[in-house]
Amino acid sequence: MTRLACFYVPMFVLAARLRSEPDLLNEAVGIVEGNGNNAHIVAATRRARKKGICPGLSLTQARSLLPKLIARSRDSECERTAQEALLEVAETFSPRVEDAGEGVVFLDVTGMERHFAGEGDGEWGVGSGSDTDLAGAARDDSNSHPPLTTPHSHNPEFRLARAALRACDAISLPARVGIAASKLAARIAAELPKSPTVVAPGEEATFLAPLPLTRLSPEMEAAAMLHRFGLSSIGDLAKLPESEIASRLGEVGRELHWAARGIDPRPLMPRPLPPEFHEGMELEWPLVALEPFLFIANSALDRLSKRMEIQGFACKRLEMTLTLDPEGYDARGIDLPAPTRDVKTMLTLIRLDLEKTPPGAPVTGFSFVAHPDRPRRAQLSLFGPSAVSPEKLATTIAKLISILGDGRVGMPMTVDGHLPERYAINVFSPPPPPDVRRTPARARGLLAVRTFRPPIPIEVTTRETAGDDVQIATIRSLAEAVSDTRPLTQSSRPRVEAGAKIEIAGTVRICSGPWRVEEGWWIDRPDIREYWDVELERGGVYRVFRGGAAEWFIDARYEM
Amino acid sequence: MAVHARCLDSQFPLLEARTTPTLTRTPRVVDSPVAFASGEGAAIRNLRASLEASIAAKLTSGSELIRNLARQRREEILPTTIEPLDALLGGGLARGKMTEIAGRGTRFSIVIATLAASTSIGETAALIDAGDSFDPQLAEAAGVDLQRLLWVRPHTMKETVTAAEMIGATGFQLVIIDIGSRRPPGRRVPDAAWVRLARVAESHGATILVSAPYALTGTTSEAMILAHAPRAHWLGRENAPRVLAGIETHLKLEKHRRLRPGQTATVFFRCEEGIEGGGEWGVGSGRKDVGYLSSSQSSSVGSMSSYSYPPLPTPHTRKAS
């Protein structure tokens, strides 16, 4: 038999808002819908309800009852992200999850209870979830009745439901859980104030019988007629013949009668897995400073990180969209070098990005979209060299890139070709260390050169030798080369800024060369160079080359 | 060079007796510190007590094993595989410490050789190249495993030290700061930054090597080597074609916390062409693959007179390095 669970968040509108602003949890808060004279309360916290604030009151009426009422408008972004978070919690219990909207989620838990067969009863997660302000609201409901099916803590389904309550608490959503054989029974079980409620298989009709008819949410006209019939409980309706109800109420009556007997033919409609994670918020007033924004963004990123952790994902790319005042958006993307869930890292990257390019207008809302990826795992070696933690490495590299810029951090790579200045930088992803410690290889004792990027243009005087070869007599740098981070391409030439400081000059003591290098002979303008090694009288050994256009450059210095 | 120390008012006078300031509080004996648990679990303690002494001595818990391995790793040294330099440093670079090489000698060649030594044993290394003068082709030829090397190219001195601190705290085994030929732009880094860097090295067991044209780290480094008096050696004489054979540099141990300073050595780094086309002209010691001239710790100058010049390679056969 199919077993379905229902996660239900009472007063979802309020719960979603309080999830984004947990500081308001113990305050008198009212959620308002509509503008101006139309503004009316749709939900309120217990503290506000105690003062008489109830849904339906206009904001003016509510203020007259409680002047210190904190009014917050409905935030569709908060509600959407809260619903997504609820769905993601449900997906940790079952792969088949249906999004019923507005804080209601159904999931197929058939057979899943076996995973909770041996779980201890030490923690009573229901208490923490049900005792919150929101959960307490439903206890005041006069129509509520205690569940007829007394749950046993040894029941694996009951343990599953309690685990689900704990998981919902972890994402700051005070949900209730009901488990039954049909969606309707599971939903009604979840709506009961004492949570969790597990309806035994085949006992749906017995469970529903003592509950009031309003639990079935009949249409207004049908409800009035049932009231005239003198029916007050679901059991009363179930006892009547189906044909008689159908003849009086039509198709609606037939469906109500089925529901009263615990029959719900609606199948579960599982949703596809989301490709990305969203979090965001609409702000009450525009923010002009960075620090307050980061304070709010921190909690949003924290929620995002928890949601990704539940799914076993990490963030590979973070997209941020800022809603600007009075209109417009500022969208930007931050690529992370390795998947990470570290909130501090993501916040630092956002800070650096915003400091570098401010949005230019006050911010009235924001949304984060995290593109998930599997986090890197590494088996650390016990006896070999210690490996760097992938998470830490990703965080460090991301911070370094944000400080130094793109192309300044990574793994150096050689590039096919004959020109010595060629290089490339790739994403740093070191292989795992060996399992045992090796002996270091003996050094080759090679002389290293310091490369000038880009090469420094020089003026050269030459002297003739016996053969055809040219020997350099003096060199004098024309200008100091501008620091250029771009690797030279096939056709690019060194960029020179005139008027910079002259550094290298002198008479050549020893000259060695030329050594000819040719690359790209198959194109119109191949790179043909002649290299010399020169030592100056005043000290210093340099590598000098003459390009195709008879321009002279120094591209490296043998370290002296 | 004589250095005049600045006399601070707060310095305590050593030679002139002054009246001791009156102590307002009388000294008292401090209570002995509270003994803390060794971390040995009760179960292991009971198990050891129940076993014979010989067997119990061989019993090691997982946490003890990890602690011992971590301690062992910190006490290790990272050889640069340049024998004269290793001899000066007492075997190599100390792990968890900061070592500095300063001067106008072949510092970058030492840096590349150290990177090759570290990455060849599977360690992850980082080169913070403030001079932006690293050549991946040459490093690969020198034996550096580029896959295990993180290349960072900061713009300023402040970025250099910040990057080193972050990388050292991440768990890299070797972090090398190369300043280049001159100081990068930006303001001078305060001494506290080097103190912080030394602490990062100590707390994470990282080996930090600072290569700069002048001394930077002050008292925070474990050892300081001065690389000076570089001299280029050429093959060929007079009007004959010349080939750069290599560069000789003198090293001097200026400071070491455990060893006696003042020892010197000479190293000789060869050009790549010298190795590939070289014949017997290379090294006085007869090794063809290593370019050290002398590992003498007492004499500061090595002789190059033992060169026997081979036939020179034709210029056009030279590979682009």
Does the distance separating the beta carbons of B241 and A512 come in below 8 Å? yes
A446 contacts B275? CB cut-off 8 A: yes
> Model confidence at B224, in pLDDT bands (50, 70, 90)?
very high
Inter-chain residue contact A443 with B80, CB threshold 8 Å: yes
Residue B45: predicted pLDDT: 79
- Which of B149, B267, B144, B126 has its CA nearest to residue B207? B126
> B244 and A387: CB-CB below 8 Å?
no
Angstrom CA distances, A420 to A44, A416, B242, B291, stand at 71, 10, 21, 23
Task: Kindly indicate the confidence band of residue A413, based on its pLDDT and cuts at 50, 70 and 90.
Answer: very high
Rounded to whole angstroms, the Cα distance separating A234 from B235 reads: 106
Partner-chain residue, chosen from A412, A444, A512, that has the shortest CB–CB distance to B136: A412
pLDDT in the model for residue B203: 87
Q: Mutation test of the interface with chain A: which of B244, B272, B295, choosing the one with the most A Cβ atoms within 10 A?
A: B244
pLDDT at B129: 93
The number of CA neighbours under 13 Å toward the Cβ of A510 is 20
pLDDT tens-digit readout, A226-280: 778 888 888 888 888 888 888 888 888 888 888 888 888 788 888 876 678 888 8
Report the mean per-residue pLDDT for chain A: 80
Contacts of B314 by beta carbon, 8 Å cutoff, 6+ apart: none
Q: Which of A444, A530, A544 to mutate to test the interface with B (most CBs of B within 10 A)?
A: A444
The residue with greater pLDDT, B297 or A9, is A9
Opening angle at CA B266, ends B260 and B267, nearest 5: 125
The arithmetic mean of pLDDT across residues B291-300, rounded, is 36
Q: Do A450 and B180 touch (CB under 8 A)?
A: yes
Among A388, A403, A437, beta carbon nearest to B124: A388
Q: Which of A409, A440, A512 faces B120 most closely, judged by CB atoms?
A: A440
* Residue B152 tokens, joined: 């960072």
pLDDT for A132 equals: 42
pLDDT for A106 equals 92
Mutate to test the interface with A, among B120, B133, B174 (most CBs of A within 10 A): B133
The answer to whether B272 contacts A517, with C-beta atoms less than 8 Å apart, is: no
For B81, the closest of A440, A449, A513 (CB atoms) is A440
Of B143, B230, B236, the CB nearest to A444: B143
Give the residue from chain A lying closest to B120, CA to CA: A440
Report the phi/psi class of residue B229: left, alpha or beta, with left for phi > 0 and alpha for psi in -120 to 50. left
Sheet holding A97-101, edge to edge: A97-101, A104-108, A4-8, A176-180, A197-198
With an 8 Å Cβ cutoff, are B124 and A439 in contact?
no
Residue of B63, B147, B290, B292 to mutate for A, most A C-beta atoms under 10 A: B147
Structural tokens at position A96:
């088949």
Q: Is the pLDDT of residue B301 over 60?
A: no
Tell me: the pLDDT tens digits for A116-164? 766 554 333 333 334 344 444 443 443 444 444 545 566 788 888 888 8
> Taking 90 as the threshold, does the pLDDT of residue B281 lie above it?
no
Q: Are the beta carbons of A410 and B150 separated by less than 8 Å?
A: yes
Determine whether the interchain pair B116/A393 forms a contact, defined as Cβ–Cβ distance below 8 Å. Answer: no
Across the beta sheet with A29-33, what order do the strands follow? A40-44, A29-33, A70-73
As a whole number, mean pLDDT of residues B6-35 equals 56
B159·A403 Cβ contact <8 A: yes
Give the pLDDT of residue B174.
94
pLDDT at B37: 55
Q: Between vectors from CA A97 to CA A94 and to CA A101, what angle results, nearest 5°?
A: 145
CB contact under 8 A, A446 and B138: yes
Task: Return the higher-pLDDT residue of B100 and A95.
Answer: B100
- Cross-chain residue pair B272–A396, CB shorter than 8 Å: no
Residue with token string 């949601």: A307
Q: Are B135 and A420 within 8 A, CB to CB?
A: yes
pLDDT for res A153: 60
Residue pair A365/A321 in contact (Cβ under 8 Å)? The answer is: no
Looking at residue A560, its pLDDT comes to: 60
Contacts of B158 in chain A (CB under 8 A): none
- State what percent of residues in chain B have pLDDT above 90: 34
User: What is the SS3 assignment for A301?
Assistant: helix
Q: What is the mean pLDDT of residues A503-524?
A: 83
- Among the partner-chain residues B151, B154, B163, the one whose CB lies closest to the CB of A425 is B151
Helical pair A290-311 and A12-20, crossing angle rounded to 10 deg: 120
Taking the CA of residue A454 and the nearest CA in chain B, the distance in Å comes to 10
> Closest Cα to residue A164, out of A277, A88, A99?
A88
Tell me which chain A residue has its CA closest to the CA of residue B237.
A510
- Residue A380, pLDDT score: 65
Cβ contact, residue pair A446, B269, below 8 Å: yes
Quote the CA–CA distance of B159 and A408 in Å, as a whole number: 12
Collect all residues of chain A within an 8 Å Cβ-Cβ radius of residue B315: 513-515
Of B117, B150, B321, the CB nearest to A420: B321
Enter the DSSP assignment of A216. G
Q: What is the pLDDT of residue A369?
A: 93
Which ipTM value was assigned to this complex? 0.70
Q: Do A441 and B143 touch (CB under 8 A)?
A: yes
Average confidence (pLDDT) over B98-107: 91
Q: Tell me which residue in B167, B230, B243 faces A396 most closely, judged by beta carbons.
A: B167
- Kindly state the DSSP code that residue A28 receives in the 8-state scheme: -
Question: What is the average per-residue pLDDT within A300-329?
Answer: 88
> Beta strands A176-180 and A104-108: pairing type?
unpaired
Q: Is the pLDDT of residue A521 over 70?
A: yes
Q: Which residues have a Cβ under 8 Å from the Cβ of A174 and sit 6 or more positions away?
A: A9, A10, A15, A129, A130, A132, A133, A134, A135, A168
Q: What is the pLDDT of residue A481?
A: 46
Tell me which residue in A393, A411, A483 faces B132 most closely, judged by beta carbons: A483
Token pair 């002789």 is found at B303
Report the pLDDT averaged over residues A356-375: 88
> What is the nearest CA distance from B35 to chain A, expressed in angstroms?
31
Contact B124 A404 (CB under 8 A): no
Q: Could B315 and A403 be called an inter-chain contact, meaning their C-beta atoms sit closer than 8 Å? A: no
Distance from CA of B256 to the nearest CA of A (A): 24
pLDDT digits (tens, 9 = 90+) for A21-49: 888 888 888 898 888 788 889 898 888 88
Distance CA A432, CA A544 (A): 41
pLDDT of residue A483: 44
Inspect the interface and report whether the beta carbons of A559 and B152 lie closer than 8 Å. no
Q: Which residue of B has its CA nearest to A529?
A: B320
CA distance linking residue A433 with residue B123, whole number of Å: 7
Angstroms from A377 CA to nearest CA on chain B: 16
Is A411 close to B318, i.e. CB distance below 8 A?
Answer: no
Banded model confidence at residue B148, pLDDT cuts 50, 70, 90: very high
Evaluate if residue B33 carries a pLDDT over 80: no
Return the pLDDT at B107.
92
Q: CB B151 to CB A412 under 8 A?
A: yes
- Whether A433 sits inside 8 A of B123 (CB atoms) is yes
Report the alpha-carbon distance of residue A39 to residue A63 in Å, rounded: 12
Q: How far is B13 from chain A (nearest CA, A)?
A: 45
Q: Residues A63-112: pLDDT tens digits? A: 888 888 888 888 888 888 889 889 888 888 888 888 888 889 999 888 87
Strands A363-373 and A277-287, by their bridges, are: antiparallel
- Do residue A445 and residue B159 have CB atoms under 8 angstroms apart? no
Least trusted range by pLDDT, from A83-87, A112-116, A515-519, B141-145: A112-116
Mean pLDDT over A511-540 rounds to 85
CB A174 within 8 A of CB A150: no
How close B7 comes to chain A (CA, Å)? 38
**Cross-chain residue pair A443–B124, CB shorter than 8 Å:** no
Q: Give pairs for A215-223: CB < 8 Å, separation 24+.
A: A215/A143, A215/A188, A215/A191, A216/A184, A216/A188, A216/A256, A216/A259, A216/A260, A218/A252, A218/A256, A219/A252, A222/A249, A222/A252, A222/A253, A222/A256
Of the ranges A10-19, A542-551, B246-255, B277-286, which one carries the lowest mean pLDDT score?
B277-286
Query: pLDDT band at residue A472, thresholds of 50, 70 and 90?
Result: confident
Q: What are the chain B neighbours of A512 within 8 Å (beta carbons)?
A: 234, 236, 241-244
Tens digits of residue pLDDT in A340-354: 888 888 888 888 888
B191, B84, B170, B71: which is closest to B128 by C-alpha?
B170
Stretch A311-333: mean pLDDT: 89
Burial class (CB in 10 A: 0-12, 13-18, 19+), A67: exposed
Minimal-distance CA residue of chain A relative to B231: A560
Q: Using an 8 Å CB-CB cutoff, list chain B residues near A446.
A: 109, 112-113, 138, 141-142, 269-272, 275, 291
- Share of residues in chain A with pLDDT > 70 (%): 85
- What is the mean pLDDT of the segment spanning B91-111? 91
| Chain A residues within an 8 Å CB radius of B106 | 447-448, 559-560
List CB contacts (< 8 A) between B163 and chain A.
Answer: 400, 403-404
How many A/B residue pairs have CB atoms within 8 Å? 242
